[in-house]
Amino acid sequence: MHLLSVLLIGIASNLDNLGISVSYGLRSTRIPFISNLIIGIISMLCAYFSIIAGRFISAFISIQIANLVGGLIIICIGIKCILESFFEKNETGEVKIDSNYSQVITHPDLADVNDDQVISLKESIFLGFALAINCLAMGLGAGITGVSPVLTTFSIGLFSVISIWCGLKLGNKICGKNIGKYSNIVAGFLLIMIGVYEMIV
């Protein structure tokens, strides 16, 4: 049972949550505990089903190949995180949207659609799915390598709640403005380390 991987996956999968919640803290937007909990539960559900899917796939291949494929998937996600931090999709900040849901999916930091500076239960559901998208591919790769679905899911949910709470607390600090960018880089390197670890252990 790769407990180190379980811990690092929980941390890496929620560094985006930290960056997003810092941006909310900078704007004095609150995320009540129940909304934070809903976001964590959604992340857990998405992660669990993707890990189960990964374990199902691993049943048809050898352990060595499973670790290799799963590790490569996690490494690719890590590289993607790092690249995304250097290439912004829209430098002007102008966002074209078709619906509130598509707005939140592409720009999670805009989940407060009614601008009341509180993430409501409904908004937390949209935000939860937007942030959980990263957990899908990560969970698939982790599942293929054979990590525990229950422990990994719990780790992701726990660090989701912790990272959002910490991010809001950090949001009133000037250095928080760059955390969103750095969180992608840190998450990327963590995932690459996890992928390499799973391939050789």
Report residues of the chain scoring pLDDT below 50.
1, 89-103, 105, 175-176
pLDDT at residue 93, as a whole number: 43
Distance CA 13, CA 19 (A): 12
Distance of CA 96 to the CA centre of its chain: 24
Distance CA 140, CA 53 (A): 6
Query: How crowded is the C-beta side of 77, counted as CA atoms within 13 Å?
Result: 26
Partners of 118 in beta bridges = 30
pLDDT at residue 102, as a whole number: 47
Assess contact for 127 and 104: CB atoms under 8 A: yes
* Assigned token pair, 103: 């707005």
Q: What are the residues whose beta carbons fall under 8 Å from the beta carbon of 190, sequence distance 6 or more?
A: 8, 11, 12, 15, 78
The type of residue at 185 is I
pLDDT at residue 39, as a whole number: 92
Distance CA 201, CA 169 (A): 37
Distance CA 128, CA 138 (A): 16
pLDDT at residue 21, as a whole number: 81
Partners of 48 in beta bridges = none
Specify the long-range contacts of residues 95-102, CB closer than 8 Å, at least 24 apart: 100/126, 101/126
pLDDT at residue 9, as a whole number: 87
Assess contact for 160 and 14: CB atoms under 8 A: yes
Q: What is the pTM of this model?
A: 0.71
